[in-house]
Chains A and B, each alone.
Chain A
């Protein structure tokens, strides 16, 4: 099928327009981060005449950017590691014992989480975690792992239905216990769906704002990046060059990671969506 040239031109111009709309805020953020206030009042859209590092340095030195970056990294990585072990484990047990009432019950109990918006537990966990002394990174990690279960188990159990039970049986005859069957045979086979789950959860945990706002807003040294940028903006909103330097630095890790992994990321999401 050959499309008409006019239609093709129309298609490309719409797509180009869309890309411009996406890029303008990014362009403004990056350029304003490197401009002095005098320079940006003259023109918002001009390229910076020189790379002025003052704004960036203020964000790093005065505002303590590194601490928040490290907090975000620690919380995201530990949560993801736990998620990628616990979710396949419980899904494996459920899918291999689905005829038993206990497993069926916990499966539907965990799926029921789809119907419960976060707002229902938002205020109770505020009280609850403060009673348990969990208004810290450990509490954040526990909550992220818990909240990832519903979607993760739904995706994993669906995936495991397509992995034949004969594989389990063969490995049992070969003398594997369940743990060995899981680690040596099933877990490696689950790699595609595990990667989808890790992708979805890494975007959510890294960017999440509500949970840090509820659990971590009391002391500044435990903030994650989204909570930092929110508090930073309210403190420095009068100096928008400084604010944009903060936005730029907050986005920089994910921009670099995205540049490196985007193809994989999109395909990871697509595969999850197709299941």
Chain B
């Protein structure tokens, strides 16, 4: 009797344990497709990238040599890379400030009770659904053919020159296009944040005699800090890897005036047969972006702990 009981308890234990094992094995199966894809097509190519960056490979020939860190030293000495770095930072700073400021302004204007709110939101969001390559090509045609002809007809000197044809102004052509198409998403994120600001706080502050500027800085803005962080992270990463609009509009030119780092990597790796060298450049921008994202996340966490 006693023996039988122990046996049965043991049996139940085995059954439920094998049941639990099967459960955890099934959970493991759930992760498998995603994990295999991620290891095979993200982690492995990243490791390959690091390896290639240590070689003199041109991307075509059958053999290549490991040359240690030579590519990295060469990148540091490369004037063209330095220029691309300066261009990328200049572009990022101007584009991020314009995007965030305009997106915030528009979100504030579109928030609350206004007429045609749904319609206006749809129009303002519209650029976000278009591909940047198409938008870039459209603006390219506008800058190249339409604006100069209008400038001629009206006799306006400034318009009659193609903004993309001058090394000093081409960057602003790119910024115009990216701001035109890149405001919508941060604007929607700000709108989402604005809808979380409690209305009674505003009313209480109005009763206490705060003007609209004071209300904005002491009530609205603190509620928007998380959205501001998200938008900063997204648009800084977008700015540092700017590529599509450059391919569509300037091809890095005139000369090398609008070569961003991402464009330079593409040009070196695909067209100029400096494959190993280009991967070293890509590792460089990886370190740069990882460092900047790390700083942002740290700052963001601090803000959240410190209650805005």
Contacts and interface: CB of A to CB of B under 8 A. Distances in A.
A207 B237 contact: no
A97 B24 contact: yes
Contacts of A128: 44-45, 48
A184 interface: no
Interface in A81-127: 86-87, 89-90, 92-94, 96-97, 102-103, 106, 109-110, 113-127
Given A119-B285, A128-B48, A240 B26 contact: no
Nearest to B37: A146
Contacts of A25: 135, 138-139, 142, 180
B129 A90 contact: no
Interface in A1-24: 1, 11-12, 14-15, 18-19, 21-23
Tell me the interface secondary structure of chain A in the complex.
helix
Given A109-B38, A122-B266, A203-B129, A116 B122 contact: no
B283 A207 contact: no
Interface stretch (A49-57, A60-68, A244-252): A244-252
B290 A44 contact: no
B35 A15 contact: no
Given A254-B130, A266-B121, A1 B202 contact: yes
Nearest to B293: A115
Contacts of A254: 129-130
A269 interface: yes
Nearest to B145: A240
A63 to B, nearest CB: 14
A230 B125 contact: no
A78 interface: no
A226 B134 contact: yes
A163 to B, nearest CB: 16
Contacts of B270: 126, 214
A15 B293 contact: no
Interface residues on B, range: 35 or more
A44 B237 CA distance: 37
B120 interface: yes
B281 to A, nearest CB: 8
B163 interface: no
B278 A11 contact: no
A114 B33 CA distance: 20
A117 B289 contact: yes
Contacts of B27: 93, 96-97, 103, 178
Given A22-B180, A266-B121, A116 B290 contact: yes
Contacts of B42: 113, 116, 121, 146-147, 149
27 contacts: A12-B115, A15-B110, A15-B120, A18-B124, A19-B123, A90-B30, A97-B27, A110-B38, A117-B262, A118-B241, A119-B285, A121-B49, A124-B46, A124-B52, A124-B279, A126-B270, A146-B38, A146-B42, A177-B23, A214-B270, A226-B131, A250-B131, A254-B129, A262-B125, A266-B125, A270-B188, A270-B189
